[in-house]
Chains A and B, each alone.
Chain A
Amino acid sequence: MSSSEIWIAFYTILRREIRRFMRIWPQTLLPPAITMTLYFAIFGNLIGSRIGEMDGFSYMQFIVPGLIMMSVITNSYSNVASSFFSAKFQHSVQELLVSPTPNWVVLTGYVLGGVARGLCVGATVTVLSLFFTHLHLHNLFLTILIVLLTSVMFALGGFVNALFARNFDDVSIVPTFILTPLTYLGGVFYSISLLPDVWQGISMLNPVLYMVNAFRYGILGVSDIDVTWALVIICAFIICLFYIGLTLLNRGRGIRS
Chain B
Amino acid sequence: MAYAIEIKDLKKRYGNGFEALKGINLNVEQGDFFALLGPNGAGKSTTIGILCSLVNKSSGSVSIFGVDIDKDFPGAKRYLGVVPQEFNFNVFETVFNVVVTQAGFYGIPTHVAEERAEKYLKKLDLWDKKDTQSRMLSGGMKRRLMIARALIHEPKVLILDEPTAGVDIELRRSMWEFIKELNEQGTTIILTTHYLEEAEQLCRNIAIINSGEIVENTSVKALLKTLSSETFVLDLDETIGEVKLDGYEIRLVGDGSSIEVSVMKGQNLNDVFAYLNDQNAKVVSMRNKSNRLEELFVKLIKGSK
Chain B residue at minimal CB-CB distance from A2: B107
A4–B54 alpha-carbon span in the complex (Å): 26
**Given A90-B88, A92-B88, A257-B49, A99-B54 contact (CB < 8 Å):** no
Q: Is B75 among interface residues, defined by CB-CB distance under 8 A?
A: yes
User: Do B106 and A99 have beta carbons less than 8 Å apart?
Assistant: yes
Chain A interface size, under 10 / 10 to 19 / 20 to 34 / 35 or more = 20 to 34
Residue of B nearest to A255 (CB): B54
Secondary structure class of chain A's binding surface, majority of residues? helix
Q: Interface size of B by Cβ–Cβ distance < 8 Å?
A: 33
The answer to whether A1 touches B80 (Cβ under 8 A) is: no
A-side contacts of B53, CB under 8 Å: 97-98, 256
Complex: A222 Cα to B110 Cα, angstroms: 48
Against B, the Cβ 8 Å flags (1 = close, 0 = not) of A5-42 are 11011011101100010010000000000000000000
Chain B 49-87 near chain A by CB (<8 Å), digits 1 or 0: 100111110000000000000000111011010101011
B73 proximity list for chain A (CB < 8 A): 100
Partner pick for B104 among A12, A92, A97, CB 8 A cutoff: A12
Which A residues are CB-close (under 8 A) to B49? 257
Q: CB distance B102 to A94 under 8 Å?
A: no
Instruction: Determine the distance from Cα of A252 to Cα of B54 in the docked complex, in whole angstroms.
Output: 8
Report Cα–Cα, A5/B53, bound state, in Å.
20
Residue A134 CB within 8 A of the other chain: no
CB-based contact B107/A91 at 8 Å: no
Q: Does B301 contact A (CB under 8 A)?
A: no
Q: 1/0 per position for B255-285, CB-CB distance to A under 8 A? A: 0000000000000000000000000000000
Pick from A4, A9, A15, A92: contact of B90, CB under 8 Å: A92
| Contacting pair A100 B106 (CB below 8 A) | yes
User: 18 interchain pairs (CB within 8 A)?
Assistant: A1-B74, A8-B108, A13-B105, A16-B101, A23-B92, A94-B54, A94-B84, A94-B88, A95-B102, A95-B149, A98-B52, A98-B53, A100-B73, A100-B74, A100-B75, A100-B105, A101-B107, A257-B49
B: residues with CB less than 8 A from A are: 14, 49, 52-56, 73-75, 77-78, 80, 82, 84, 86-93, 101-102, 104-110, 149
